């Protein structure tokens, strides 16, 4: 049985409400076409993590979809801070006692249904917040199980679009077999997972797919590169073949909720020795250190 929707705080077009009661027009293009974008900003101890990097990606996605930015960065930061405070009040804690996940969404707005982009309509701005669940240590020690699949999504994966039918279908491939993620390949080369970036470790080198239109550049792209630099770990972005992935010493997943998570089983076979590896351990430790300087 589906649990009832909680009355968590949210913001919609200038009004504060909760996610149980907030309503969007049925003619909103985000509802009709998935014509919009989103960002998910983690907040550790009440402080947004890599906020400017999230805003830079939001701005890139807005430009790609030709949607005017409804706020400047100061406005977005104010909204995020208000949501963090509202959630803390909702759960009866101080903001610094909470880890939160702030969801921001912008759609093109409300108009009569027509595929062409209408002019002079106001974007719909929606934002909500929830608890950020941290992967428990025992799950990290075991590592994640993943499966592979062909990447059947569109070729503008670099836009963090709300048109997520492809991601839903790809994630269900792993959900159907009780796995954590679906690692995808396009024309024989690694792209990403359904809701994570994927990193391959071979002979001590961390490899990732290039920054292009076939991959959503996760906020952890720049962070992982910096963490590798700090730990003197070689880091390369290039085309990574399916054969290289299957022969990897380690495979890592990264996302706002996973942080850095080892994949220890792929398509029913162990990755490396079947346990989280030394590169993962170093990068996870570096990630935790980076969280302490959240800004």
Mean pLDDT of 56-61: 96
The whole-number pLDDT of residue 134 equals 87
Instruction: Give the model's pLDDT for residue 190.
Output: 97
Stretch (H or E) spanning 252: strand 250-255
Say whether 185 sits in a helix, a strand or coil. Answer: strand
- In whole angstroms, give the CA distance from residue 22 to residue 12: 7
pTM score, two decimals? 0.94
Supply the residues annotated as catalytic.
160
Provide the pLDDT for residue 1.
59
Helices (H), 67-143: 73-91, 137-142
Kindly report, residue by residue over 10-28, the tens digit of the pLDDT: 999 999 999 999 999 999 9
Strand order in the sheet with 9-12: 15-18, 9-12, 124-131, 100-107, 36-44, 47-48
- Which H or E run includes 280? helix 278-291
Instruction: Give the mean pLDDT of the chain.
Output: 95
pLDDT digits (tens, 9 = 90+) for 70-126: 999 999 999 999 999 999 999 999 999 999 999 999 999 999 999 999 999 999 999
Mean pLDDT in residue range 233-240: 97
Query: In degrees, to the nearest 5, what angle opens at C-alpha 58 toward C-alphas 117 and 231?
Result: 150
Query: What's residue 209's pLDDT?
Result: 96
Q: For 124-160, how does the pLDDT look when each residue is reduced to its tens digit (9 = 90+)? A: 999 999 999 988 999 999 999 999 999 999 899 999 9
Give the HSE-up count for residue 112: Cα atoms under 13 Å, Cβ half-sphere.
0
169 phi and psi angles, rounded to 5 deg? -65, -40
pLDDT of residue 244: 98
């Amino acid at each position: 049985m589906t649990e009832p929707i909680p009355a968590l705080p949210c913001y919609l077009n200038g009004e504060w409400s909760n996610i149980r009661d907030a309503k969007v027009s049925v003619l909103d293009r985000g509802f009709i076409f998935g014509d919009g974008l989103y960002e998910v900003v983690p907040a550790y101890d009440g402080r947004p993590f890599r906020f400017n990097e999230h805003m830079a990606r939001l701005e890139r996605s807005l430009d790609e979809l030709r949607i005017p930015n409804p706020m400047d960065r100061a406005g977005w930061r104010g909204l995020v801070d208000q949501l963090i405070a509202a959630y803390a009040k909702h759960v009866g804690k101080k903001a610094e006692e909470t880890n939160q996940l702030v969801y921001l969404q912008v759609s093109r707005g409300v108009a009569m249904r027509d595929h062409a982009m209408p002019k002079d309509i106001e974007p719909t701005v929606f934002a909500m917040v929830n608890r950020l669940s941290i992967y428990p240590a025992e799950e990290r020690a075991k590592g994640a199980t993943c499966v592979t699949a062909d990447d059947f999504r569109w070729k503008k994966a670099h836009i963090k679009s709300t048109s997520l039918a492809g991601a839903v279908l790809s994630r269900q491939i792993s959900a159907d077999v009780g796995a954590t993620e679906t690692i995808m390949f396009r024309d024989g080369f690694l792209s990403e997972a359904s809701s994570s970036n994927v990193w391959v470790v071979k002979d001590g080198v961390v490899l990732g797919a290039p920054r292009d239109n076939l991959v959503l550049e996760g906020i952890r792209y720049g962070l992982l590169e910096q963490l590798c630099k700090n730990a003197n770990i070689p880091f390369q972005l290039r085309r990574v073949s399916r054969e290289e992935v299957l022969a990897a010493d380690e495979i890592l997943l990264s996302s706002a909720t996973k942080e850095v998570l080892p994949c220890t089983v792929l398509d029913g076979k162990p990755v490396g020795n079947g346990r989280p590896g030394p590169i993962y351990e170093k990068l996870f430790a570096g990630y935790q250190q980076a969280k302490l300087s959240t800004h």
